[in-house]
Amino acid sequence: MKVGFIGLGAMGRPMAKRLRGAGFELSVYDVMAAAAEELTALGAVAKSNPGEAAASSELICLSLPNSAILKEVMLGENGVIKSLEPGSLVVDLSSVEPQVSRRLAEAVEAQGGAMIDAPVSGGVVGAENGALTIMVGGKKEDLDKAQEVLKHLGKKVFHVGGPGSGQAVKLVNNLLLGANMAAAAEALTLGKKLGLTPETMLEVISQSSGASYALSAKAEKFIYPGRFEPGFAVDLQYKDLELAVSTAKSLSMPLPMGNTAQQLYEIARAGGRGREDISSVIKFYEEMAKIEVRS
Ligand code: NAD
């Protein structure tokens, strides 16, 4: 199967490498030409715009930062939709608004193709190891067709409903991650202020009812050594909370936890920490409490 891959960033590059490693004929495109170098060294062909990458492919994967860029790549002058061969399948691995996914799926269908939304969870390590969780919205028959590719990227692939449903589950998941990370940062700082050691807190709480993925994945690896290279960047978590907050607004649903959590990531961005890992939200608490949670 000929595969196109558009967006070769922290997630897209390792995913595309896995597909090339599995033997797929691969056409790649990224707006930063240098992002394709590792792939071309492995035998992939770099294209000069999204349309070119799509024209030569039966299945086109996208891993892009946000809805505005995804729309431009899909609908723009040299975009995917204009070059799509009838019968081609678009697999969008980005995290975007469910309603944007639905609209793009309609546009692809009008062109004789099909699209599934397939946002992922599991971070860069999951992408490198083919161990992502993939949440798919769209037709089951299209997911079945995509499995030939998705099986190399994820260990758990869930079909959760029609177009946009994968994005809806992802949005709910990342609302929880964002709020859990902020809560863990707040709690760890209070514990330190009370004289507890970081090790004691992690050992006890990870076996108690306060346990969370945010605590277990971020405390020992990022916060305690004070190393905040992502990981999962504050800017992306902020964007995911914006997806949740704006979607909730459109449904007239109050979202106090999501809005409060988003403010903490806003503070991190304002402090120049947008490209740091989400665990760096703890620096706000540390500055206020005038201590650091390190070991
Ligand atoms: P990233 O910023 O590292 O990569 C995005 C890539 O898209 C970059 O290489 C950039 O040059 C490219 N790009 C930007 N505009 C483009 C355009 N017009 N045409 C082609 N390429 C363009 O982001 P990432 O961390 O790889 O995340 C990608 C998506 O996956 C996002 O939607 C993110 O929310 C989601 N996600 C990320 C993680 C994570 O841990 N990083 C985890 C799960 C999901």
Q: pLDDT per residue over 74-132, tens digit each?
A: 999 999 999 999 999 999 999 999 999 999 999 999 999 999 999 999 988 999 999 99
Domains and CATH numbers, the chain: 2-161 (3.40.50.720), 168-289 (1.10.1040.10)
Q: What is the mean pLDDT of residues 31-55?
A: 98
Distance 291 CA to ligand 1 centre (A): 34
For ligand 1, atom 19, name the residue with the nearest CA: 31
Is 94 touching ligand 1 by the criterion CB < 6 Å? yes
190-232 pLDDT, tens digit each: 999 999 999 999 999 999 999 999 999 999 999 999 999 988 9
pLDDT at position 230 = 86
pLDDT at position 158 = 98
Is 72 touching ligand 1 by the criterion CB < 6 Å? yes
pLDDT at position 56 = 85
Is 28 touching ligand 1 by the criterion CB < 6 Å? no
Query: Is 170 annotated as catalytic?
Result: yes
The DSSP call for residue 84 is P
Where b means 16+ CB within 10 Å and e means fewer, 108-128 reads beebebbbbbbbbbbbeebbb
Reported pTM? 0.94
Rounded Cα distance, 265 and 227, in Å = 17
231-288 pLDDT, tens digit each: 899 999 999 999 999 999 999 999 999 999 999 999 999 999 999 999 999 999 999 9
Of 152, 133, 71, the residue nearest 105 (C-alpha): 71
**Active-site option among 17, 47, 145, 170:** 170
Cβ-contact 54, 4 below 8 angstroms: yes
Cβ-contact 73, 115 below 8 angstroms: no
pLDDT at position 152 = 98
Rounded Cα distance, 141 and 87, in Å = 12
Q: What is the mean pLDDT of residues 31-49?
A: 98
